[in-house]
Structure 1
Amino acid sequence: MSSFLGYEVPWLEQHNGVHTAQEISHQPRLWRALSEILEQQYDAVSTFLNPLLERSDLRIILTGAGTSAFVGDAAAPFIQQGLGFQVESIPTTDLVSNPQQYLDPSRPTLLVSYARSGNSPESVAAVTLVDQLISDSHHLFLTCNGEGELSRYAEAAGNAYCMLMPDGSDDKSFAMTSSFSCMLMATLTLLGGQSPSQWSEQIAATATLCEDKLLQWQTAIKALADMPYERLVVLGSGGFAGLAREASLKSLELSAGKVMTTFDSSLGFRHGPKFTINDKALVIQLLSSQSYTRQYDMDLFKEIRQDNQALGHVAISEIPFNEEGVFELGQLGLGDQWLCFPFILFCQMLACEKSFQLGLGPDNPCPTGEVNRVVQGVTIYPFNQ
């Protein structure tokens, strides 16, 4: 009988969690499928992207709403480092409400749009506004739904390229899990400054590592979820700060707000947000493998341990070190951008387990409909210059 995250399918169906558990578990398989898609479309997407990336005045905006926006938050620092020029993550929810503050008509712009469904009203409106206000506009759509509005737009537009994520990435559950990781992985490969041979090896190694951790972490994560924490704090530096934002949202969503969550950078956390730590708080640190950055992560790790104020404090690290509560990946040399995937996997698993522990159904933690899988109730107004 099939099982996911240590639970058999009938139990998951009874507890309204079969989609979430399956979608977390099948990510390594989807990443391998994504690697094949990237290889198959490499020539076509390069023909679209390369002339743009040769332009020194190009502005790249990574955009989406909610979890899709956090793909950009996590990716932007890594992409900027790889490409060598400015990359910005600006949510569609900001672009649509304040286009005059974020869009520069004088600069050629590549808008990279992330969307699970491709039907969120802000996602469609952001594309329309960019085309309306910027004459030299271009679009790269990374989406999971071939029938969505963004996919259909790309079919008819001469300034757009759409890459569909693998079958199965259009998550059926409320929370985005495999859709998030696939769109992030596609971004890091297409815009990360690596060759296909480099990223194909990295994807394979990352998938193998995460398959192992899906099994190895189950017991420990169940024990963490059983702790009576009411707050979750996720901390990381650079791109891991953006990843921490997504990790904190997963627990907020799947607990239906019963676990209040926050995120921050290692250095930023001391500047006020540290007040969130109390005896009802679980703190998770995502530790960089880069020696310079890791110094700041480890200083905060030691400080939190010395303060001894948190209910629980754990860290995830590629580099082994002998401390209780550290989930070690082993010194694999993947590099920080690829550590995003085991890091977010851990946090997804914890969010799902906490949802079960609270007696909720992670597939739909808000059955009364105040919060929906695809956002509703948004009115898009025409922008008149």
Structure 2
Amino acid sequence: MTTTAPVRADETATHREILQQPDSWQRLVASLDDRRAELDAFLQPLLADPELRIVLTGAGTSAFVGDIASVDLRRHLGRRVESIATTDVVADPHGSLGAPGRVLLVSFARSGNSPESVAATRVVDDVAPDTHHLVVTCDPSGSLAREHRGQDRSFVLEMPPETNDTGFAMTSSFSTMLLAVLLAFRPELASGTGALVAAARTIAGLEARIASLAEGTERVVYLGSGALQGLARESALKLLELTAGGVVSFFDTPLGFRHGPKAVAGTHTLVIVYGSADPYTARYDADILRELRGDGAVRVVSVGGDADDERSFPLDDLAGLDDALRSVALVGFAQLLALATSVAHGCTPDNPFPGGTVNRVVQGVTIHDHREGAVRP
């Protein structure tokens, strides 16, 4: 009888791809500098139209890039910026898009080979014929990149090649695409890259402490407001994926958590609150931390907020940055916790579903013709 040796976190591709992120961000900044004139020539005429609608889209983790970035871009561009998942666009184009008008569709994809990736761009072209496409992808040979490369109304922005993660879960692909879209529209944010790199390396140095949080944990809740809500959602998914559903995870906002979802909090629940950089929003983070710690039934950890007690991970390197940009580095905390929890539960992080019930690139989706039998406005 043979037994399989337990997997070590630091021997996985997932671990390598988490730790490579600071170097990938620096390579991204250099490549964007090289293409800035070309990118601006594509974007600036579109942004000159005050009626332009910017829609950020992707599936799963790629959709959460849009959830985070849309909050920041709405505020700083002063225009209509929305995050609508490709899965919603494909399944219900008229309901999800409404009267789209003139659209810049920003598509995020690690490989671009998921069935909805190309389908969503085609559906939006049908519904809004004056659509332009900014494709942000980690695989230049993927279906999405091939579909749009060289097209008059498209611009393909390729990430550093190593960010096409070979592990099951999106790690460096997520953070690098998020940084890319923020820099594409707000190039001045490049000055914060050094702080992101420093914070990511600080988080890597806390790996053992982060891993200790996995002990005795059966459920994990991530809470965050504004852009950090999208980060909370991605963090919860990472844990669910890498443990193959063995650890149930949830996400919410600090205010929303009280409205029913707080029922999940119990003795074996870990609650992680992402602290906002906005002083007003941070008051609500402090309130929920105080309340949950007063309840005494759950373990509560603050990440990225003030150092309110020994359970905090304040990450001072990120001081002065907005929450969307901070999310680029903060996600490393969730990635390392998910990896450690996966190993603790006997999973294989690089392939947590060896039976193929869930796949690195989604399979089994049939794309139907949205023009057949559609209920139109």
Aligned equivalent of 2:331, options 330, 344, 353:
344
Query: Per-residue deviation at 1:313?
Result: 1.1
**Bigger Cα displacement from structure 2, 336-345 vs 176-185:** 336-345
- Other-structure match for 1:269: 257
Q: Distance in 1 between matches of 2:278 and 2:272?
A: 18
> Once the two structures are superposed, what CA deviation does each residue of 1:333-385 show, in whole Å capped at 9, x if it has no partner?
22322221232110000000011111111000000000000000000011226
- Other-structure match for 1:300: 288
Q: Distance in 2 between matches of 1:67 and 1:110?
A: 20
Question: Where do 4+ consecutive residues of structure 1 move more than 4 Å?
Answer: 11-17
> Once the two structures are superposed, what CA deviation does each residue of 1:121-157 show, in whole Å capped at 9, x if it has no partner?
1111000111112121110000000001111122242
- Other-structure match for 1:3: none
- Other-structure match for 2:52: 58
Aligned equivalent of 1:313, options 300, 312, 318:
300
User: Under a length normalisation based on structure 1, what TM-score does the superposition of the two structures give?
Assistant: 0.92
- Other-structure match for 2:193: 203
Secondary structure of residue in 1 paired with 2:161: coil
Q: Distance in 1 between matches of 2:213 and 2:66?
A: 29
- Other-structure match for 1:7: none
Q: Is 2:109 aligned against 1:109? A: no
Q: Distance in 1 between matches of 2:105 and 2:80?
A: 13
Q: Distance in 1 between matches of 2:98 and 2:92?
A: 12
- Name the aligned partner's letter for residue 344 of structure 2: Q
**Structure 2 contact 159–176 (Cα < 8 Å) conserved:** yes
Q: Is 2:211 aligned against 1:214? A: no
Query: Per-residue deviation at 1:309?
Result: 1.6
- Name the aligned partner's letter for residue 328 of structure 1: P
Secondary structure of residue in 2 paired with 1:85: coil
**Structure 1 contact 115–142 (Cα < 8 Å) conserved:** yes
- Name the aligned partner's letter for residue 95 of structure 1: V
- Other-structure match for 1:230: 218
Aligned equivalent of 1:164, options 154, 158, 180:
158
- Other-structure match for 1:98: 92
Distance 1:16 1:326, change over 3 A: closer
Q: Distance in 1 between matches of 2:232 and 2:313?
A: 16
Query: What RMSD, in angstroms, separates the aligned Cα atoms of the two structures?
Result: 1.7
- Name the aligned partner's letter for residue 162 of structure 2: G
- Other-structure match for 1:151: 145
Distance 1:237 1:15, change over 3 A: closer
- Other-structure match for 2:76: 82
- Name the aligned partner's letter for residue 226 of structure 2: G
Secondary structure of residue in 1 paired with 2:272: strand
Secondary structure of residue in 1 paired with 2:170: coil
> Once the two structures are superposed, what CA deviation does each residue of 1:288-310 show, in whole Å capped at 9, x if it has no partner?
02111101111111011111121
- Name the aligned partner's letter for residue 145 of structure 2: S
**Structure 1 contact 17–363 (Cα < 8 Å) conserved:** no
Gapped regions of structure 1 (runs ≥ 5): 1-10
Distance 1:129 1:68, change over 3 A: same
Q: Distance in 2 between matches of 1:112 and 1:340?
A: 19
Gapped regions of structure 2 (runs ≥ 5): none
Aligned equivalent of 1:329, options 283, 302, 315:
315
Q: Distance in 1 between matches of 2:116 and 2:361?
A: 11
Query: Per-residue deviation at 1:280?
Result: 1.6
Query: Per-residue deviation at 1:104?
Result: 4.3
> Once the two structures are superposed, what CA deviation does each residue of 1:184-224 show, in whole Å capped at 9, x if it has no partner?
00111112xx3x4x322211221122123211x12211211
Secondary structure of residue in 1 paired with 2:111: coil
Query: Per-residue deviation at 1:162?
Result: 0.5
Query: Per-residue deviation at 1:105?
Result: 5.2
> Once the two structures are superposed, what CA deviation does each residue of 1:40-79 show, in whole Å capped at 9, x if it has no partner?
1111111111111111111111100111111111111111
User: Under a length normalisation based on structure 2, what TM-score does the superposition of the two structures give?
Assistant: 0.94
Aligned equivalent of 1:244, options 212, 232, 240:
232
Secondary structure of residue in 1 paired with 2:213: helix
Q: Is 2:367 aligned against 1:380? A: yes
> Once the two structures are superposed, what CA deviation does each residue of 1:249-303 show, in whole Å capped at 9, x if it has no partner?
0000000001011100111111111111011211000000211110111111101
**Structure 2 contact 169–360 (Cα < 8 Å) conserved:** yes
- Name the aligned partner's letter for residue 223 of structure 1: S
